[in-house]
Amino acid sequence: MHKSYSEFITSLSSRLLSSLPGMDAHRKMAPMHRKSVKDYLSEVKSYKTAAVLALIFPDKENGSPRIILMERAGGGDVHANQISFPGGKQEPGEALSDTALRESFEELGIAPQEVKLMGPLTSLYIPPSGFLVQPFLGYLQQDPVFNINPSEVQRVFTPALDHLTDAGNLRTGSFMSSQGIPVEASCFQLEDVVIWGATAMMISEIVELVTSLKGAD
């Protein structure tokens, strides 16, 4: 990316004020069996709400944008060992944006006051857990200092956005859903990390937004 980090953030923040790529971006990485959010919500009697934070920060060496992802801890939870953004269940009376900030602090130790929220992305319904998840896009002005909660997080990794926008890192694979059902889906392959499912769908929307900025340069 040729823009400085601050210029990139300004451009991305402005882009979020326009219409989002939404389902068109999600479909590119969606498992073949996946329905639209509208279809899922028409079939369920109730659902829970959650939020996640896609957090961008500048590389300490060259200032290029990176994004924070994590591998959830193992255990009996339906999302155990999955690659995800920090986030979790909305508490009563809590705004979804505050949910994303609170969970990022509880899981990774990133203080809410350090995060600048740019805005919401397109929500996703997660059938195995019955959550409607609202992603938020935010940024830091500096390299983060993590204080990882080991009961929730196995590891953190911070790929460069350029690696996620590189079509050479896209693959198609066979995966096992949390319900034990084999599925075919597109995925991001970043060295030993494979990202598929809901997180890949959220990343796909970010990729579309970032790519649109390159086209506008």
Per-residue pLDDT tens over the stretch 162-174: 999 999 999 998 8
Question: Are the C-beta atoms of residues 86 and 103 closer than 8 Å to each other?
Answer: yes
% of the chain at pLDDT higher than 70: 94
Could you tell me which residues come within 8 angstroms of residue 168 by beta carbon, excluding any fewer than 6 positions away? none
Name the average pLDDT for the chain.
91
Region 4-28: what's the mean pLDDT?
95
CA distances from 181 to 73, 90, 184 (A): 21, 28, 10
pLDDT digits (tens, 9 = 90+) for 166-210: 999 999 988 877 667 788 999 999 988 999 999 999 999 999 999
Give the pLDDT band of residue 1 (cuts 50, 70, 90): very low
Return the domain boundaries, the chain.
5-165+197-216
Q: Where residue 94 falls among pLDDT bands split at 50, 70, 90?
A: very high
Q: Identify the CATH assignment for 5-165+197-216 out of 3.40.190.10, 3.90.79.10, 3.40.950.10, 1.10.1660.10.
A: 3.90.79.10
Tens digits of residue pLDDT in 98-153: 999 999 999 999 999 999 999 999 999 998 889 999 999 999 999 999 999 999 99
